[in-house]
Amino acid sequence: MKEMQLKYGCNPNQKPSRIFMKDGELPIEVLNGKPGYINLLDALNGWQLVKELEKATGIVAATSFKHVSPAGAAVGLELSDTLKKIYWVDDLEMSPMANAYARARGADRMSSYGDFIALSSTCDVPTAKMIAREVSDGIIAPGYTDEALEILKGKRKGTYNIIKIDPTYRPAPIETKDVFGITFEQGRNEIEINSEMLSNIVTDNKELTDDAKRDLMIALITLKYTQSNSVCYVKDGQAIGIGAGQQSRIHCTRLAGNKADIWWLRQSPKVLGLKFRDEIRRADRDNAIDVYISDEYEDVLADGVWQTIFAEKPEPFTKAEQKKWLLENTNVALGSDAFFPFGDNIERAKKSGVKYIAQPGGSIRDDNVIETCNKYGMVMAFTDSRLFHH
């Protein structure tokens, strides 16, 4: 098939709409559903991300995409009992691929609501069963087991978007994009992110562990497919906070850092001890936890809303208690798609447990950024490679 007609483009008024190949056949096959314009943008960007993650780490990978940026990305490391609980998968059979998707969706479950999923390898039954009970728009993978495909076909009353991609497909080295009737042309961003990119360590502390290298590569590959400006916090094989599309680097760092903090706070005894009413759905529990952690919780208590969500009235999670718990989050990796212009980014990163950093370097204030890292004993590598994505 050389082309696929779509219902409309980004918005219902944008017609006609299609995807097509100038030469050759489309490398995708729609096995179920009718994916739209944005679905396909998410699918193709997500596929590139997970394919590169598996190549760089040797571990199966998954990503959860929303509006052409990842909400989460991860490799299939085994989950701890705590992570299984906060990702609502402690009742499921797990596989490496299921672990990868649980981590990818679990990084920011609120943003992943209604996501498009990309898997680096065949979708198996444990992964399909997990996806079947989440709110998601679709999935792209190089293959599906027969049983997994049947499970997914039953989702969304049989309309769930399921795409199979040819893993051997290689795009042309030159890509084009039309904006306002004008065609832009550039070479594809074929830069390969690997451990060698982390060899130029510019800080006093030069002890970069293998796990830190893995996490920094995950951060950089994730950023390669995230709308710029962007930064990504990673821990134990998964993104825990992604800041995308901000005009200021410090705003990226704060946004992603706040998401990383929420991810860590979800693992606190106070949050793990929350007693929900049996009928409360997972998505509503995620929302309730977000409010419980936030400054809004006192108002919720005052209004008595808690009785509709919780089986028992939760004790407040005070700012002092949260600050103490956040201090226990350590050895976090942070990647940036362009240089940090000032040390304030490092100061904010420190608050979220960052120890390892990878960024291109090249700022006139590199000395200030390095000095700030040295103050905290951080390890920072200059990659000399910008990763803007637009």
Each residue's pLDDT tens digit, 144-175: 999 999 999 999 999 999 999 999 999 999 99
Residue 254 shares a structural domain with residue 303: no
Query: Is 51 in the same domain as 69?
Result: yes
Beta-carbon contacts of 7 under 8 Å, excluding residues fewer than 6 positions away, are: 17, 34, 36
Count structural domains, the chain.
Answer: 3
Q: How many DSSP H helices and E strands does the chain contain? A: 14, 15
pLDDT above 80: residue 300: no
- 45 and 100 both lie in a single domain: yes
DSSP result, 188-228: ---PPP-GGGG--B-SS-----HHHHHHHHHHHHHHHTSPS
Q: Domain check: are 285 and 200 in the same one? A: no
155 tagged catalytic: no
Confidence (pLDDT) at 197? 96
Mean pLDDT of 263-268: 97
Q: For residues 387 and 199, what is the distance between their CA atoms, to the nearest angstrom?
A: 17
Q: Is 390 among the residues known to form the active site?
A: yes
The Cα–Cα gap between 16 and 93 comes to 44
Specify which residues 80 forms β-bridges with: none
- Which residue in the list 22, 157, 319, 390 is annotated as catalytic? 390
Same domain, 291 and 191: no
Question: Residue 387 falls within a domain, yes or no?
Answer: no
pLDDT score, position 299: 75
Per-residue model confidence (pLDDT) at position 307? 87
For residue 164, give the 3-state DSSP assignment: strand
Q: Do 335 and 186 share a structural domain?
A: yes
Question: Do 157 and 182 belong to one domain?
Answer: no
**Residue 389 covered by a domain:** no
Residue 388 falls within a domain, yes or no?
A: no
Q: What is the pLDDT of residues 87-138, one digit of tens each?
A: 999 999 999 999 999 999 999 999 999 999 999 999 999 999 999 999 999 9
Same domain, 65 and 113: yes
pLDDT at 295: 79
Q: Tell me the whole-structure pTM to 2 decimals.
A: 0.96
**Domain CATH for 138:** 3.40.140.20
Q: What is the pLDDT of residues 63-81, one digit of tens each?
A: 999 999 999 999 999 999 9
Q: Is the pLDDT of residue 239 over 80?
A: yes
Catalytic residue of the set 45, 51, 66, 164: 66
pLDDT at 304: 76
At 215 the pLDDT is 98
Q: Give me the pLDDT at residue 352, please.
A: 97
User: What is the DSSP secondary structure assignment for residue 21, as one 8-state letter?
Assistant: -
- Looking at 116, 132, 165, the residue that finishes a domain is 165
Domain final residue pick, 115, 142, 165: 165
**What is the model's pLDDT at position 202?**
98
Selected catalytic residue, list 229, 259, 270, 329: 229
pLDDT digits (tens, 9 = 90+) for 355-377: 999 999 999 999 999 999 999 99
Report how far residue 277's alpha carbon sits from residue 275's, in angstroms, rounded to the nearest whole number.
7
Residue 313 has pLDDT above 90, yes or no: no
Which residue in 55, 67, 251, 351 is the catalytic one?
67
Q: Quick one: 154 and 32 in the same domain?
A: yes
Q: Is 209 in contact with 200 (CB distance < 8 Å)?
A: no
The confidence score (pLDDT) of residue 306 equals 83
Does the pLDDT value for residue 301 go beyond 90?
no
Q: 216 and 360 share a domain?
A: yes
Residues 6+ away with beta carbon under 8 Å from 26: 1, 2, 3, 4, 19, 20
Closest by CA position to 338, among listed 380, 373, 388:
388
Tell me how far apart the alpha carbons of residues 46 and 112 are, in angstroms, rounded to a whole number.
13
pLDDT number for residue 333 = 98
Among 139, 165, 191, residue at a domain's last position: 165
Is residue 148 included in any domain, yes or no?
Answer: yes
Regarding whether 369 and 239 lie in a shared domain, the answer is: yes
Mean pLDDT across the stretch 188-202?
96
Strand pairing report for 136-141 and 115-119: parallel
| Domain containing residue 234 | 174-265+326-382
Is 87 within the bounds of a domain?
yes
User: Would you state the structure tokens that stand for residue 14, as one six-digit string?
Assistant: 């944008």
> Are both 258 and 276 inside the same structural domain?
no
Active site annotation includes 129: no
Q: Is 229 a catalytic residue?
A: yes
DSSP state at residue 382? E
- Name beta bridge partners: 313: none
CA atoms of 96 and 162, how far apart (whole Å): 20
